[in-house]
Amino acid sequence: MPPTTIYAATMLAAGIGIPVLAALNAALGQRIGAPIAASTILFLVALTTTVIALFLSGTASALTQAMTAPKHLFLAGFLVAFYVLSITFVAPKFGVGNAVFFVLLGQLISAAAIDHFGLFGAQISPLSLSRAGGIGLMAAGVWMTQQA
């Protein structure tokens, strides 16, 4: 199987997981009456999972190199926490579909900007008229799914 097929399948699975994550964590937050506690539990499970993967991969020594990385790269952790906290609070009140719709819209916008300008070391992929049209069609498609 070509690597691009594996990458596409992996990211499709990750994309499928995002609304499931939102629904599960929102339900847990409502069940225990504390969305922040539900988010904390999610991160404890995630930390445990990633620590196991780290040691199984044999790359634990890379943690020492992280101290030399530019500090702005650590904002990714803040962004994950912001997403999990916000989806856990918002989804029960706004609906998982509506919440994820706006997450997807934000992803389309930021991904296009990151690729266009090559931000954070990303491969540059200029925002052509056809690419912008495709992103617009994707956004329209996601919007249409929420109108039914």
pLDDT at residue 1, rounded to an integer: 86
pTM for the model: 0.84
pLDDT at residue 146, rounded to an integer: 78
pLDDT at residue 97, rounded to an integer: 86
Shortest CA distance to 38 belongs to which of 81, 73, 97?
Answer: 81
CB neighbours of residue 36 within 10 Å: 12
Residue 75 in contact with residue 16, Cβ under 8 Å?
A: no
In order along its 148 residues, the chain shows pLDDT tens digits of 899 999 999 999 999 999 999 999 999 999 999 999 999 999 999 999 999 999 999 999 999 999 999 999 999 999 999 999 999 999 999 989 888 888 988 998 899 999 999 999 999 999 999 989 988 998 898 788 878 6
Q: What is residue 123's DSSP assignment?
A: P
